[in-house]
Amino acid sequence: MDAKPLIFDLDLPDLAQLFLSWGEPAYRAAQVWQGLYSHLWEDPVEFTSLPNSLRQKLDAYLTFTRLKPVQVLESGDGATRKTLFSLPDGQAVEAVRMGYARRRTLCISTQAGCAMGCVFCATGQMGFRRHLSSGEIVEQVLYYARQSKSAGERITNIVLMGMGEPFHNYEATMAAIDRLNHPKGFNFGARRFTVSTVGLVPQIRRFASERRQVNLAVSLHAADDELRSSMLPVNRKYPLDELFDACRQYAEITHRRITFEWALIREVNDTPTQAQLLASRLHGMLCHVNVIPLNPTRNYAGQATTKERALTFKSELEKYNIPCTIRLRRGIDIQAGCGQLATDEKKARKLPA
Ligand code: SAH
Ligand code: SF4
């Protein structure tokens, strides 16, 4: 690990405290905060409004980069770009930028690997390596924000759907969101974040009680316990009745619409029976269902659904007035479906990192 603390792990008061301990006035912290999160500076030499001595101290005691981009892949149509970052301890994480219509969405990671072991997920298949710190989560966003800025674009949405389970790393995930949401800095609106969880019930309840404006997505994938437990081992700990209790409590407390994620796997969970079971579970609830054809992974035999079966699934849900969107597998040629680490470089364009 880098011996120096990562500057993005610090909140504004932490920075002010540090500067005080260096004998610097607290207002310098606000200047640095603005440099980092408004101007998107990434090197102490850029902070020309600071005295030279302070720039030197920043350089000596803090690090401004922990994530090293080692591979950049762009989809054939140029709309999706995935960056693989290496960390000083040898771990690797990825982040993806997707640009479609007027949206520029970033999909970022919260852990290296994942402990949840969902059978169809490339990240689950690699197991848990470690939690990311809040600063390491923030740094993924700033990396893309700098690129967007030089291209004259703005990021419109941030989804925490990359590697890892955000609610297994709750504190760091929320700290990262709060830091990026800070009005005097990056000022990214809470409503433009989406946190996706595999269904950790205590954390869903906690998230509800905190009444955050951040959107919640729950990865469901099956509407009966037997099938869900065979795909998502976490379902044995938090079965569907408990999960839906927590989701209903969330909807009641926050009045916010939950998105349920469903990867359609041919003849596994894309049947009309599953759609009907799902509809009965969601009856009367403020929600939306996003279905996406499975991205096949090396260690899972399941196949993607067909277009016809996806349409049947959607219309089955709509019979019960459950809104459903079929998502396209954007950036499939770079395995940019979040949580997909394996890269198929055949169609992707490799760019200098
Ligand atoms: N751990 C969180 C967020 C990261 S995974 C979660 O599970 O929700 C983000 C989304 O990608 C989840 O909905 C997950 O189920 C889905 N996903 C993982 N592997 C996939 C695959 N091979 N094909 C389609 N979706 C997949
Ligand atoms: Fe982890 Fe989400 Fe993948 Fe499941 S789907 S293994 S929770 S990253």
pLDDT > 90 in the chain, percent: 87
* Active-site position among 74, 94, 261, 316: 94
pLDDT in tens, 295-333: 999 899 999 999 999 999 999 999 999 999 998 766 555
User: What's the 161 CA to ligand 1 centre distance in angstroms?
Assistant: 7
Residue 54 near ligand 2, beta carbon < 6 Å = no
Give, for ligand 2, the residue of 170, 219, 220 to mutate: max count of ligand atoms closer than 8 Å to Cβ.
Answer: 219
pLDDT in tens, 65-87: 999 999 999 988 888 999 999 99
Phi and psi for 38 in degrees, rounded to 5? -100, -50
Q: Which pTM value belongs to this model?
A: 0.95
Mean pLDDT of 117-134: 96
Please provide the size of the chain in residues.
353
Residue 113 near ligand 1, beta carbon < 6 Å = no
- Would you call 94 a catalytic residue per the annotation? yes
Mean pLDDT of 88-100: 93
DSSP string, 45-61: GG-TTS-HHHHHHHHHH
Residue among 276, 219, 275 nearest 247 (CA): 219
Residue among 129, 139, 205, 138 nearest 167 (CA): 205
Q: Any idea of the CA torsion for 44, 49, 52, 58, to the nearest 10 degrees?
A: -30
What does the pLDDT read at residue 332? 54
Whole-angstrom Cα distance, residue 213 to residue 151?
A: 29
What integer best gives the mean pLDDT of the chain? 93
Question: What is the per-residue burial (b if ≥16 Cβ within 10 Å, else e) of 218-246?
Answer: bbbbbbbeebbbebbbbbeebbbeebbeb
